Amino acid sequence: MNIDALMYGGEDAYDFMPNFDKVNFAKFKTAKAAANAAYKALVKDCKLHGMNPDYEVYKREEDGYLRIGWESGPFEWAVKRSVNGPWGYAEPYFSFDFCFYDE
């Protein structure tokens, strides 16, 4: 895998997060369920690359939404992905996290 692609967003950057990219967000009915699935996928992807998700991945409630993140993941990983479903949508706050909202 090309480290420059991971850091600067080449095609290989998508191969770095196979578990997150397999999540079918359309099947969830609530933002909480979608955020939980995203969190579990980030934990798997973090472990896949030899990192400790206890330190690198987080999930927390904030002001009416759920935020999940992987700060040590590929450069701007959240900016390059679209997450939505019948429950609502998620958008990045920083380039390494998603905030999940119910509609």
Mean per-residue pLDDT of the chain: 89
CB burial readout 55-82, b (16+ within 10 A) else e: ebbebeeeeebbbbbbeebbbbbbeeee
- Each residue of 7-49: pLDDT tens digit? 555 555 567 899 999 999 999 999 999 999 999 999 999 999 9
Q: What was the pLDDT predicted at 2?
A: 54
